Amino acid sequence: MVEVQSITFPEGITLQCGEKVAPLRVAHQTYGTLSPKRDNVIVICHAFTGDQYVASPHPVTGKPGWWSRMVGPGLPIDTDRFFVICTNVLGGCMGTTGPTSERAGTGRPWGKDFPPVTMHDIVAAQVKLIDHFGIDRLFAVIGGSMGGMQVLTWATDYPDRVFAAMPIATSPFQSAQNIAFNEVSRQAIYGDPNWHGGDYQAHGVIPARGLAVARMVGHITYLSEEALTRKFGREIRPGTVPSSGDPLSALPFGGMFQVESYLRYQGSNFTRRFDAHSYLTISRAMDFFDLGSEHEGNLSAAFRGVKTRFCVVSFSSDWLFPTSRSRTLVRAINQAGGHVSFVEIDSDRGHDAFLLEEPDFDRTIRGFLNGMARQAGLSAGECDNAV
């Protein structure tokens, strides 16, 4: 049994859709030490299928934390200096209340009856935890992809509580193409023989094939065409082609391309650690996200009066959340008279680049946090000279 750090709020949370989820449990991991003034807090928001294990081994897979190269002592997000909190999102399946949690009074999990959540709800759950810790203001909120949607929601919903914000490889709205890919994933799950109209938990099964297909779709969109070509090209997986003895035929009849093998592995591996209803709930929360729509389509209105200092980061080969979306965001913040800097990192690795070794990106994060720390009057960290 994995021990999960969490706080339970018996009163629960009332969601934007009007429904109430109670109790509310918020699972989280923390790194570093909270300063006496409680002014050194960085909230990291995870992406779609991420979790709170940002810099510690994943309890199911045993793999290192998903950002362990970025978060730790002396690293760009320096835990010798900052107190880092990462929560599992509302609707997730790693300890925070979601479809796999027991619905009070029923003895059964929420399952398909878990209500729809939004980025506002996801961040509101995080706010409850921050309040519980007695933290008034965050030094910074940082997140990539869907994590970036949470960063934008934090800064616009709680403008007085966020000093600095880094929305990374993200967008102020979910695009038609993003919705379309999510819809393919959802249909793959609905079409699984183990779906049972959403009641798979009652049948003691999981819609693993559909969930694997969903994950495969995701993986393609996370990588650039160049990265897929460099990683796999048209290589054949060894041992999958029956030797035909025909020297003329170099074709892999019956064989498997490496890229297929990779996707199958990613797909089936994923089903060990992720719940289908959580997948559906969170993908829908992303689809709902559209900051401008809440201000009659005027995105800059969302940033009116927001004093948060933003550093927007995009990656040149990211086609899921392309640089053009970050530019739209930067323009809107500028129009609202806000503080914003913008960096496009040159990388050919696609959306996934924010999780990979990209020295320019590391320098951007380290530099922004150090600069902001000076502005916020935080005591100088040892890493200041490392910029």
Quick one: which of 217, 241, 336, 376 contacts a copy of itself (CB under 8 A)?
A: 217
Where does this chain touch a copy of itself (CB under 8 A) — which range of 14-22, 56-64, 161-169, 333-341?
14-22
Kindly tell me which residue out of 11, 80, 199, 294 binds a copy of itself, with binding defined by CB under 8 A.
294
Catalytic residue list contains 28: no
152 contact partners, CB below 8 Å, separation of at least 6: 119, 165, 167, 170, 172, 291, 329
What part of residues 320-339 is at the interface with a copy of itself (CB under 8 A)?
322
What character string, x for contact with a copy of itself (CB under 8 A) and - otherwise, covers 176-195?
xx-xxx-xx--xx-xxxx--
CB-CB neighbours of 376 under 10 Å: 15
The alpha carbons of the chain give a radius of gyration, in whole angstroms, of 22
Nearer to a copy of itself, 260 or 358 (CB): 260
- State yes or no: residue 352 binds a copy of itself (CB under 8 A): no
Beta-carbon contacts of 315 under 8 Å, excluding residues fewer than 6 positions away, are 169, 323, 344, 345, 347, 349, 350, 351, 353, 354, 358, 361
**Token output for 54:** 């940002």
Residue 136 is labelled as binding a ligand:
no
Tell me the residue length of the chain.
387
Tell me how crowded residue 324 is: count the other CB atoms within 10 A of its CB.
Answer: 11
CB 119 within 8 Å of CB 90: no
Q: Is 352 annotated as a binding residue?
A: yes
We find the least distance from the C-beta atom of residue 144 to a copy of itself, in angstroms, to be: 20
Q: Which of 28, 51, 145, 171 is catalytic?
A: 145
> Quick check: helix, strand or coil at residue 112?
helix
Closest CA to 66 of 90, 79, 50, 86: 50
Euclidean distance between CA atoms 125 and 130, whole angstroms: 9
Q: Is 287 in the site for a copy of itself (CB under 8 A)?
A: yes
Is 243 among the residues that bind a copy of itself (CB under 8 A)?
no
Task: State the number of CA atoms in the 13 A half-sphere of 168 facing the CB.
Answer: 22
Distance CA 60, CA 69 (A): 20
| Residue 46 known to be catalytic | no
277 catalytically annotated = no
Q: Which of 27, 213, 282, 345 binds a copy of itself (CB under 8 A)?
A: 213
Counting contacts by CB under 8 A, is residue 267 touching a copy of itself? yes
Task: Given the residues 185, 300, 318, 326, select the one marked as catalytic.
Answer: 318
Does 233 interact with a copy of itself (rule: CB under 8 A)? yes
Footprint of a copy of itself on this chain (CB under 8 A)? 16-18, 116, 118, 173-177, 179-181, 183-184, 187-188, 190-193, 209-210, 212-213, 216-217, 219-220, 225, 228-229, 231-234, 244, 246, 249-254, 257, 259-260, 263-264, 267, 287-288, 290, 293-294, 319, 322
Detail the residues annotated as belonging to a binding site for substrate: 215, 352
Q: Which residues are catalytic?
A: 145, 318, 351
Detail the residues annotated as belonging to a binding site: 215, 352
